[in-house]
Structure 1
Amino acid sequence: MPVDTKRIRGPEESQSPLLFLSPGKVPEASSRQGVRGNGDVRPVFARCGLISQAKGSAYLEAGNTKIICSVYGPREAERKDESDMKTGRLVCDFRLAPFSCMKRGAWIQGSEERDLSQTLLESLQPGVCLHRYPRSQIEVNVMVLENDGSILAHAVTCASMALADGGIEMFDVVLGCTLRQNGSACLVDPSFSEEYGSWQEGYGEEQGCVTVALLPNLNQVSGLTADGEMREDMLADAVRSCMDGCHKLYPVLQQALTRAVKKKAPPPEK
């Protein structure tokens, strides 16, 4: 994507305004002191239907992680050679806003974002009824507004909400959850500092990070990514903990979708 040379992008590096506050006025961090390791996820806020131009959209906050997603289609595929007579095509685009990280990023999509786009596609595809949309294309665009950890897992949940809000037929919604393993200790839904704090140069022995995408009603795993060095039994326990975390997020997703359906429903006849 070409760079907009007329846009004032600001400085390459910036400092948080929280650094200039007095110590007594600094707000609490997004980490959950006192509840680590018992499978609790961060408080989640979710809403659907915020982008009027899109077929479906969703916004999700988990701690300080903020993600917005829009869905377009189904519509005719741009390239005829990529269309299928029997099934549709799902396209995912994952972007990190330049201001979402501590160090300002670029507008052009990087290798990390391309990998996240492919992982997001593989996680969502088993939950979408693509056979109902032959020769069509469904586009999912995810934008991370603030990165405070577990962005892939929450992007899966947000994209699933946007697909459901857009009326796309699905076998089941897809929920995501991340677990950070450090020896015998683990933390579900870690923040950025908890996920990468002292492991910027790589993971040590019995350390890693696991992300699971789950179809909760079918109880089937649609996506699994794991980084680090973890034993087989440790990885199995991490997957089970992530599945439990997904089930804890399911009521929030149901409530947001129910509210969106009631908002779109016509008023009752008098």
Structure 2
Amino acid sequence: MPFDTKRIRGPEESQSPLLFLSPDKVPESSSRQGVRGNGDVRPVFARCGLISQAKGSAYLEAGNTKIICSVYGPKETERKDETDMKTGRLVCDFRLAPFSCLKRGAWIQGSEERDLSAALLESLQPGVCLHKYPRSQIEVNVMVLENDGSILAHAITCASMALADGGIEMYDVVLGCALRQNGDSCLVDPSYTEECGNWQAGYGENQGCVTLALLPNLNQVSGLNAEGEMREDSLTDAVRTCMDGCHKLYPVYQQALIRAVKKKAPPPEK
């Protein structure tokens, strides 16, 4: 079979470099340092307007979780049978980069990514003024560059910032927050190791994960996703804790949007 002579051909078999490190130098799988109490979140970094070709874009880091989002539109819908004369259409595409997980994936969208796309659409749709864009389509593309847990929650926030950066009219920004319940204790914004710690053995009693999407100014929940087996009182407390987590992170995203607006604003006339 012919091959590209200009491409550097790597070895057929390879081993992880971590195998050659001494045990005391192996990096921790979790991006969390020290011991956190309930309600603490990982450090967050957010920026808007990084993709010049897109109408709006945003980049977000939470610990080792790295997500980038781009927004295109409003533009004419691709399928005429899906055109609505009274309201616009929001399309969400959620992708995991092949190198984002411990096990390398494929570029073809899988069932997990399709479920995440549907959850992302459900969370963002109540916050967008789609009636302002009749017969139009707005595309939201999310790419996870590194998966270290809570990707849906941070993708919701990143996509909302990209929509705001693109000038899409919204009722309110949409913020996401995730929580891992383990017995009587809970952990906000869990890492991948903390999020999947007991999945191999299955969820036990009062254990699960909750992801919530919130409109902070309106104080309305636009999306809720829960997995596992949790008591009614634990689920209620988890929802309240996630809402508090969204309000704690709201000033960080506010500052990122303000910096983006000031950067795009024309200089004052002298």
Q: Please, what TM-score do these two structures have when normalized by structure 1?
A: 0.92
Matched residue SS, 1:171: coil
Matched residue SS, 1:70: strand
- The question of 1:161 aligning with 2:154 is answered no
CA distance 1:66–1:11, change in 2 (3 Å): farther
For 1:203, the equivalent position in structure 2 comes to 203
The Cα shift of 1:269 comes to: 1.3
- The question of 1:35 aligning with 2:40 is answered no
1:120-153: CA deviation from partner (whole Å, max 9, x where unpaired): 0000000000000000000000000000000000
For 1:112, the equivalent position in structure 2 comes to 112
Q: Which structure 2 residues correspond to residues 104-253 of structure 1 after superposition, within 5 A?
A: 104-253=104-253
The Cα shift of 1:13 comes to: 9.3
The Cα shift of 1:35 comes to: 1.5
- The question of 1:98 aligning with 2:98 is answered yes
Could you tell me how far apart the structure 2 residues matched to 1:214 and 1:230 are?
21
CA distance 1:57–1:33, change in 2 (3 Å): same
For 1:259, the equivalent position in structure 2 comes to 259
Of all paired residues, the percent bearing the same amino acid is 86
The answer for unaligned runs of 5 or more in structure 2 is none
The answer for unaligned runs of 5 or more in structure 1 is none
RMSD: 2.2
Matched residue SS, 1:238: helix
Matched residue SS, 1:268: coil
CA distance 1:14–1:148, change in 2 (3 Å): farther
Count, aligned residues: 265
Matched residue SS, 1:87: coil
Could you tell me how far apart the structure 1 residues matched to 2:233 and 2:8 are?
51
Could you tell me how far apart the structure 2 residues matched to 1:196 and 1:86 are?
43
